[in-house]
Amino acid sequence: MLGALLLLLTTADPEPQIRAGEQAYKSLDFRTAAGAFERACAADACTRPQLLRVYTGLATALASLGQTAKAAEAFKRVLFIAPDWQLPQGASPRLREPFDAALVFWRSRAAAQVTVKPAALEQNQPASITAQLEADPLDLVDHLVLLVRRADREARLEPADRTPLADGGFAQRFDLPSSLTAPGQLTLIAQALSASGSVLLETQLEREISGEPRAAPAPTPVVEETPKPEGRALLHLWATAAFDVLSRQLGAEVLASVSPTSILDLNLGATFGANIGVRLGATLHLPRTYRASPFVQARLGLHPTAGPAFGGGLALGGTVEAGPGRATASVAGELFRAAPQYAAFAVLVQLGYELDLPGLRAD
């Protein structure tokens, strides 16, 4: 690509450092491999294929060292530049855990991409062209550049200004001189660069100065899924089936939940079974960026048809992200003040699903 050639002419070659990291990884020297990958594109400009090798190598080396959180951050970078990248078949759980955490992170965010929005181009007239980074939640992109290619010449344009957008994105304007707007075909290549000049994202548009624009195949991976709304869901609907180990009775709960913070849910709903009642709860859990999360829940219950009966207890369990919400499993112990004919203590085994309701969300 034109961008890669221009960068290689003006910067040192990171390829030896990348190969050193790959060789250390093959020799099972994961710590040396991680260090080499971290240095490879830190100061020298890398092409997108080189950057993908660096991020995947860093992620797998860190995962092999047991540094799961750092490996997940590296996998987030892999998916930033290549959203359809996948682990190879049969990958170990040590690699799967941080990769799944990165997938959960990107599932609720728009995929990063660069778009070009040229104004009307007139023959031999200066023009203004806007390139836009749609999102950058990882803060990887330092700036955009615009490469202009014609049959008789090529030019690299630097941005004239910068306008912040949501989720770390921004737009930059490029001034196209009249010397580049002679009649004929024009190719515009917008690149998102890191601080070292590495090419993170790239898109291409072709124009005829006197005709209508037609989109050229973009070298960036195609994201087929519709991006999900940004941020975490604030409202949830939780349905649970319950089995009382002591009384051998089946029941169910349906709860509505609100999340005032990323680790706390407040619950209100109804219980169904031998007796119908009202349920209040407060649930603490890990942030939803983790694929699997343990939780603890404080529970209060009121059963008007059982005396009435009033009491509460604690539930310990876990969730696994699945679809538009998460599967849940827990064990709960509860103590009630009730009429003599009713059991005062319950041990519940619960299985359910919590659905994230569309609409209200937070960053």
pLDDT, position 220: 57
Where along the chain do the CATH 1.25.40.10 domains lie? 2-107
DSSP-derived secondary structure for 78-105: HHHH-TT--PPTT--HHHHHHHHHHHHH
pLDDT, position 99: 93
Q: Is the pLDDT of residue 221 over 70?
A: no
Place of tokens 């649970």: 240
Query: Is 114-215 a CATH 2.60.40.10 domain?
Result: yes
Q: What is the mean pLDDT of residues 74-88?
A: 91
At what angle are helices 68-81 and 93-107 packed, to 10 degrees? 50
Q: Is the pLDDT of residue 293 over 90?
A: no
Q: Is the pLDDT of residue 307 over 90?
A: no
CA distances from residue 209 to 2, 36, 202, 205, 351 in whole angstroms, order as listed:
21, 46, 22, 12, 63
pLDDT, position 222: 52
SS3 category, 26: helix
Please answer whether residues 143 and 159 qualify as being in contact, where contact means their C-beta atoms are separated by less than 8 angstroms: yes
- Residues 182-220: b if buried by 16+ CB within 10 A, e if exposed: eeeebbbbbbbbbebbbbbbbbbbebebeeeeeeeebeb
Q: What is the mean pLDDT of residues 20-27?
A: 92
Q: Is the pLDDT of residue 284 over 90?
A: no
Confidence of residue 321 (pLDDT cuts 50, 70, 90): confident
For the chain, percent of residues with pLDDT exceeding 90: 22
Domain range 2-107, its CATH number among 3.30.70.3000, 1.25.40.10, 1.10.490.10, 1.10.10.10: 1.25.40.10
Q: Is the pLDDT of residue 152 over 90?
A: no
Residue 207 or residue 297, greater confidence: 297
Please answer whether residues 262 and 286 qualify as being in contact, where contact means their C-beta atoms are separated by less than 8 angstroms: no
Where along the chain do the CATH 2.40.160.20 domains lie? 232-362
Lowest mean per-residue pLDDT among 214-228, 252-266, 337-351: 214-228
Please answer whether residues 77 and 106 qualify as being in contact, where contact means their C-beta atoms are separated by less than 8 angstroms: no
Q: How far is CA 155 from the centre of its chain?
A: 35
Q: What dotted CATH number matches 232-362?
A: 2.40.160.20
pLDDT, position 226: 45
Confidence of residue 24 (pLDDT cuts 50, 70, 90): very high
Where along the chain do the CATH 2.60.40.10 domains lie? 114-215
Q: Is the pLDDT of residue 3 over 60?
A: no
Confidence of residue 290 (pLDDT cuts 50, 70, 90): low
